[in-house]
Chains A and B, each alone.
Chain A
Amino acid sequence: MTFQLNKLFIKGFKAMLPITTGVIPFGMVMGSVSAEAKLTLFQSTAMNLMLYAGAAQLAAVDLMKKNTAFAVVVVTAVVINLRFLLYSAAISPMLQRTSFFKKLICAHGLTDQTYAVMSAHQSQLKSPAETITFFLGASACMFLAWQASVLVGFLFGNFAPESLALDYAVPLSFVALVVPTLKNKKYVLVAVFSSIVSVLLTSVPYRLGLIITALLSIVFAVFLTRKKKVSS
């Protein structure tokens, strides 16, 4: 049993490896932005460990650099992270009857990438315990890749030439994550709806457009999958 679970941990770790090609450039950008904003190595590392949320960190450092009001910095970063509420809901059925500590570790490990890798593999994982072991493996890989790449970015700045456009690996990796979850036409419709609405709402301040788009898309999914009443 333990052997089986260890294999699943490694399977999760390996499933995350290709995704890190999208994470590493993003982490290096994050590291170099922190260095540019004159954060100390300790501050940058502490932020990475405590927040562990790239998009929110990037926004927070950018706002703090401009001496933005304290409340605006906090609310913006937290709002960007509101999407984790959905991931917390998605992983919660797998974590029933586990220890508080394990729950906390899994909660902190929830990211766009680890959540997506877990849901992409969910059909191959037989039980909640298997899913969590797989998820912890994926999280370990993600955590190492993120911490290491931010450190490299912080220490060496943007050494990759801009012409390589490595930042484009971020959207590409998101495509590779979401496509396998589109199980039928309804999922494709929701994804197309989400793309269009997010582009329309792009000028909504504080990145609230992202949250509004997600909520509208879920409402759209509820509408698409509603049970039709039998007409008599």
Chain B
Amino acid sequence: MIDSAYLWQCLVLIALGTIAIRFSIIAVSERVVITERTKEIFSFIPAAIVPALIAPSVFFHKGSAAIVMGKERLIVLLVATVISFLTRSTLLTIALGLLGLYLMRFF
């Protein structure tokens, strides 16, 4: 059981910190000129951060498919990347990715 006062203290401070982060640049942006060069750099943000959100958990995941030494999640993710590139469809990428994972375990 988590102590109620401790929990609320944590939650309120995390919430304040989080909204401060989310609001920060929005709040000051009218006083800051955003150049084309800055926008170009901003366009790299997804490529810079999203792979880092997923790569470690997938790379170190211990799976059960013996033929790929338990690395089925990593291999399916690479295949899903190709599927996403070819189809640009979120639903197909997720559906075929999950299907691929089941197939890998089956063999």
Contact = CB atoms under 8 A, between A and B. Distances in A.
A74 interface: yes
Given A37-B2, A173-B90, A56 B13 contact: no
Contacts of B97: 168-169, 172, 175
A96 interface: yes
Residue from B55, B85, B93, B102 with most neighbouring chain A CB atoms (10 Å) = B55
Interface SS of chain A: helix
Contact of A81 (B4, B13, B17, B30): B17
A46 interface: yes
Contacts of A177: 46, 50, 90
Given A110-B22, A217-B44, A173 B52 contact: no
A199 B59 contact: yes
A195 to B, nearest CB: 4
Interface string A167-199: 011111111111111110011101110111111
B75 interface: no
A88 B25 contact: yes
A74 B10 contact: yes
A209 interface: yes
Contact of A198 (B34, B39, B51, B81): B51
Contacts, number: 250
B51 to A, nearest CB: 4
Interface string B62-102: 00000000000100110011001100111101100110011
Given A78-B14, A92-B26, A174-B53, A21 B91 contact: yes
B51 A191 contact: yes
A32 to B, nearest CB: 16
B54 to A, nearest CB: 4
Nearest to A207: B56
A41 interface: no
Interface stretch (A3-11, A141-149, A151-159, A218-226): A218-226
Contacts of B93: 172-173, 175-176, 179
Contact of A18 (B9, B55, B94): B94
A137 interface: no
21 contacts: A18-B94, A56-B14, A78-B14, A84-B22, A85-B21, A88-B21, A89-B42, A89-B45, A92-B34, A93-B39, A96-B30, A107-B19, A108-B19, A110-B22, A169-B98, A191-B50, A194-B49, A194-B52, A197-B52, A198-B52, A198-B55
Given A73-B14, A78-B18, A221-B48, 11 more contacts: A19-B90, A83-B49, A89-B29, A89-B45, A110-B22, A171-B54, A191-B47, A198-B56, A199-B56, A202-B59, A213-B49
